[in-house]
Amino acid sequence: LEFCQRLPKIELHAHLNGSLSERTLRILNVSEHNINLYQLLHKQSNAEERLRLAFSLFKVAHDATNTIDAVCTATKHVIEEYYRDNVIYLELRTTPREESAMSRKEYIEAVIKAITDQNLVVVKLLLSINRTHSLDESNESLETILEMHKLYPNIIKGLDLSGSPYSGHFYKDMFERARQQKLKITLHCAEIVNNEEVNTILQFKPDRIGHGTTLHTKYGGSQTNWELYNNLKIPLECCLTSNVLSGTVKSFKEHHVAEWIKHELPFSINTDDKGIFSTNLSNEYYLMGEAFNLSKEYIFNCNYKAIDYSFASDEEKEQIKGILTQWKSAQY
Ligand code: 5GP
């Protein structure tokens, strides 16, 4: 664990409102009753109940971040916590929300303010479309996202599709439009068995895929999709604790990343919702190392490769690679 803690790390899959720690929730004046709900998640033995609880915790976080100031404060603390965990490059994602006290544009500006007010971590912003929202709402959101991307092209780097996989849609045309405007695309995909949608997503060829739990045939994926995926080799964003606690994967040892390791397919290790699942990136690397008996060299390389899968500019990628190479040479 100590090695994983010291390693300068790359995080590519972190939802802002899932990343609020207990400390941040207290700073945002969340009641002790609601903070205790977070601890319940670990005590709940039924996987379905845990998933239901996880989604109700997003509501707690959303209620705590319904003003411009609260969004800015939350973002600032999340970045500081990643910094303390030795994360040097962070792609933070969030769904722009319209609240009575702020517009979607103001929501995005608040996140950007927190990002630009600090110089602890290189932070890029990915904006999310929630698959359970209506087409009209998502289109409105996309308009704002594209407008803001023009203003902050060096910070806003990508568009994500997230939200409960049990309902909603992948609105392909919206993501096609975003791609034409030079936004990178990452899509939550195959969190549950849904081979038709997975096929549509693979045909779309996103830059990255979130989770991909059921892509492999062993976990319910179709042979066609697995073969297609093997031809495309799209980097997968893996989130071990999140998958195990939300019950989409049975145990760490049975995590589908085993197939990516075995077949040398591209993947990165991430936290997903570090507040909800009480984890951090060091812990995620440690858990993977323990589950699959991986060497420090393997873990270093896995984190190093994530730089290439990131949405940073080529120049930024080279700088980050330089930091890691230097760190490695100082170890021996
Ligand atoms: P936010 O976008 O509000 O900053 O972060 C919370 C949101 O992220 C949730 O409402 C949900 O839409 C999305 N999210 C967080 N974790 C997951 C996950 O594991 N799977 C999916 N599909 N969506 C998630």
| pLDDT tens, position by position, 296-315 | 999 999 999 999 999 999 99
Distance CA 325, CA 168 (A): 43
Atom of ligand 1 nearest to the CA of 130: 12
Ligand 1 centroid, distance to 75 Cα (angstroms): 15
Token pair, residue 247, equals 């019950």
Task: Measure 148 CA to ligand 1 centroid, in angstroms.
Answer: 21
Strands 9-15 and 87-94: parallel
* Best residue among 162, 201, 244 to mutate for probing ligand 1, ranked by most atoms within 8 Å of CB: 162
Q: Which of 81, 91, 191, 284 does the annotation list as catalytic? A: 191
Q: Identify whether 98 is a catalytic site residue.
A: no
Read off the pLDDT of each residue in 70-93 and give the average, rounded to a whole number: 98
pLDDT of amino acid 45: 81
Residue 303 Cα, ligand 1 centroid: separation in angstroms? 23
Strand partners, 238: 269
Q: What are the strands of the beta sheet with 208-211, ordered from one edge?
A: 9-15, 87-94, 122-130, 156-162, 184-189, 208-211, 236-238, 267-269
Query: Does residue 255 have a pLDDT over 70?
Result: yes
Give the span between the Cα atoms of 94 and 50, in whole angstroms: 22
What's the pLDDT score for residue 40?
Answer: 86
Q: Is the pLDDT of residue 194 over 90?
A: yes
Q: Judge if pTM exceeds 0.95.
A: yes
Dig out the tokens for 229 from the structure.
């995926």
Q: What is the residue with the minimal CA distance to atom 14 of ligand 1? A: 163
Structure confidence by residue, pLDDT tens digits, 2-57:
999 999 999 999 999 999 999 999 999 999 999 998 888 888 888 778 877 888 89
Asked whether the predicted pLDDT for residue 258 surpasses 80, the reply is yes
pLDDT of residue 49: 82
Q: Which amino acid is at 24?
A: T
pLDDT at 53: 86
Centre of ligand 1 to C-alpha 60, Å, is 13
Q: Which residue has the tokens 């670990």?
A: 42
* pLDDT (average), residues 145-157: 98
Is the pLDDT assigned to residue 332 strictly greater than 70? no
ipTM of predicted assembly, 2 dp: 0.99
Ligand 1 lining (C-beta closer than 6 Å): 15-18, 58, 94-95, 128, 130, 162-163, 165, 188, 191, 242, 272-273
Mean pLDDT, residues 147-154:
98
Gap between the Cα atoms of 259 and 255, Å rounded: 8
Q: SS3 for 46?
A: coil
- The CA distance from 155 to 2, in Å, is 31
What number does the ligand 1 atom closest to the CA of 65 have?
Answer: 3
pLDDT exceeds 80 at position 203: yes
Q: Does the pLDDT at position 98 exceed 80? A: yes
Ligand 1 centroid to Cα of residue 15, in Å, is 6
**Percent of the chain surpassing pLDDT 90:** 91
> Which of these, 205, 200, 288, lies nearest to 243 by C-alpha position?
288
> What value does the mean pLDDT take over residues 204-212?
98
Neighbours of 239 (CB within 10 A): 29
